[in-house]
Chains A and B, each alone.
Chain A
Amino acid sequence: MNPGLENLETSMYYLMFAAYLLSMFSYWVWAAFKSELMGKLATALAIVGFAANTAAIVVRILIVQRPPLTNGYEFLVTFCWGILAVYLFAEFRYRLKALGVFVLPVAFLLLAYIAMKMGPEERVAQAIPPALKSQWLTFHVITAILAYGAFAVAFGLGLMYLLKHKFELLKKSDGLMTRFPALDTLDELAYRVVGFAFPLLSLCIITGAIWANYAWGTYWSWDPKETWSLITWLIYAGYLHARLMYGWKGKRAAWMAVFGFAAVLFTFFGVNYFLPGLHTYA
Chain B
Amino acid sequence: MSTQEKSLTDKIWEVFSSMKLGLALLGIIALASAIGTFIPQISLEPEKAKTVGALWQTLGFTDLYAAWWFHLLLGLLGVNLVICSLQRFQGIYAKTFHQKAARTLTELPGQARAELKGNSVRLAQVITETLVQKHYHLVRDEWETGWSFTAVKHRWGYWGSLITHISFVILLAGALVGTLLGFKGYFMAGAGSTVPLKQIELSRGKVSQTFNVKINSAEDRMLANGERDNWYTDLSILEGDKEVARQTLSVNHPFTYEGVTFYQASFAHGAALTADIKGQKIPVVLQDQGGNFFQAPGTDLYLVVAAMKNDVQNPVILYQVYQGYGFKLVQSGQLKKGESVMINDAYQVTLDGYSGFTGLQVKEDPGVSLIWLGSLLLLIGLMLSFYWRPVVISGIYNGGETGGKLVLGASGKSKSLLAEEFGQFTDKLKNSAAN
A binding-site residues for B, Cβ under 8 Å: 127, 129-131, 133-134, 188, 192, 195-196, 198-199, 202-203, 206, 209-211, 213-224, 227-228, 230-231, 234-235, 237-238, 241-242, 244-245, 271, 275-277
Contact = CB atoms under 8 A, between A and B. Distances in A.
Contacts, number: 113
A206 B228 contact: no
B126 interface: no
Contacts of B263: 214-217
Interface of B: 19, 22-23, 26-27, 29-30, 33-34, 36-38, 41, 43-45, 65, 175, 184, 226-231, 250-254, 261, 263-265, 361-363, 368, 371-372, 375, 378-379, 382-383, 385-387, 413-416
| Chain A facing B: main interface SS | helix
A211 B362 CA distance: 16
A235 B34 CA distance: 12
A245 B36 contact: no
A215 B266 CA distance: 11
17 contacts: A130-B252, A131-B251, A196-B386, A199-B382, A202-B378, A202-B379, A209-B371, A209-B375, A214-B254, A214-B263, A215-B251, A215-B252, A217-B265, A217-B362, A231-B30, A235-B30, A241-B22
Contacts of B372: 210
Contacts of B368: 213, 219
A217 B26 contact: no
B378 A206 contact: yes
Contacts of A276: 44-45
Contacts of B29: 234
Contact of A133 (B26, B230, B254): B230
Contacts of A211: 252
Contact of B37 (A214, A227, A234, A244): A227
Given A206-B378, A231-B30, 7 more contacts: A127-B228, A192-B416, A199-B382, A206-B379, A234-B26, A238-B26, A245-B19
A231 B378 contact: no
Contact of B251 (A130, A195, A220, A271): A130
Contacts of B228: 127, 129-130
A272 B289 CA distance: 30
B382 A198 contact: yes
A184 B83 CA distance: 34
B44 A277 contact: yes
A176 B227 CA distance: 54
A132 to B, nearest CB: 9
B36 A216 contact: no
Given A227-B34, A231-B30, A133 B252 contact: yes
